[in-house]
């Protein structure tokens, strides 16, 4: 077993059963180097923001794709007002990438094919994420196991080979109802679209409300069939 595998085994055993606050404090104290938390202002990220805010050793960032809902900017503003001590850094796509994409594919070319949609996600989300994660040793995310089938094999802490860092998923075993209850109890701002059926909120042209009984991810890239991911969370924890 490699040193990093051994360390991850120790950390995963240690945080099992800890409260959210204790787990975040324990992991961020144990892991040295730059620690970052990515928020898209979804309900899970909003809950984590509440617990990350007291820690001045965690850098918080968001990705602005340029195609966000206005409601997302509204909850961004409310979050800054509730947690004034929190500096949320925004990463944008490169202007030349957007110019090249729209020249070759059109402003809404992502509707034409999966390849064009993934290309749009790459320049608007994946490349800015790479800049945001540069030099980081720990990446805190709001992923939950029940969100999709390919996420139910995750662990609290895992090695992300794609970005060469440790990914920490403190909400891993939370059920959606638990997130909703805690957010309400703590009076945490929530995107108003959430209560209109937008359980997973991405770019405005690529997100719709869910119908009753639909899968959590069904509203994302709703014109496509099959597995739906944008490339931000490639599950590669076994590739040490």
Rounded CA-CA distance 112/67 in Å is 17
Number of other CB atoms surrounding residue 127 within 10 Å: 17
Q: Which of 120, 121, 203, 230 is catalytic?
A: 230
Query: Rounded to whole angstroms, how far apart are CA atoms 124 and 101?
Result: 10
121 a catalytic residue = no
Residue 223, Cβ neighbours under 10 Å: how many?
10
The tokens describing 88, both together, are 């949320």
Active site residues: 230
């Amino acid at each position: 077993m490699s040193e990093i595998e051994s360390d991850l085994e120790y950390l995963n055993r240690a945080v099992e059963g800890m409260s959210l606050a204790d787990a975040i404090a324990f992991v961020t104290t144990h892991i040295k180097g730059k620690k970052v938390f990515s928020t898209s202002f979804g309900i899970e990220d909003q809950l984590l923001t509440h617990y990350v805010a007291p820690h001045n050793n965690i850098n918080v960032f968001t990705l602005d794709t340029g195609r966000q809902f206005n409601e997302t900017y509204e909850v961004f503003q409310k979050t800054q007002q509730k947690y004034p001590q929190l500096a949320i850094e925004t990463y944008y796509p490169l202007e030349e990438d957007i110019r090249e994409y729209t020249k070759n594919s059109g402003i809404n070319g992502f509707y034409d094919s999966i390849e064009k949609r993934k290309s749009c996600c790459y320049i608007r989300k994946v490349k800015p994420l790479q800049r945001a994660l540069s030099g980081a040793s720990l990446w805190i995310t709001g992923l939950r196991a029940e969100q999709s089938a390919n996420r139910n094999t995750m662990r609290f802490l895992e090695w992300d080979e794609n970005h060469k860092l440790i990914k920490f998923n403190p909400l891993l075993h939370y059920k959606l109802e638990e997130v909703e209850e805690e957010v309400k109890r703590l009076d945490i701002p929530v995107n108003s679209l959430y209560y209109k059926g937008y359980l997973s909120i991405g770019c405005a042209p690529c997100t719709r409300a869910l119908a009753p009984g639909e899968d959590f991810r069904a509203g994302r890239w709703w014109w496509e069939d099959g597995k739906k991911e944008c490339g931000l969370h490639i599950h590669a924890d076994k590739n040490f």
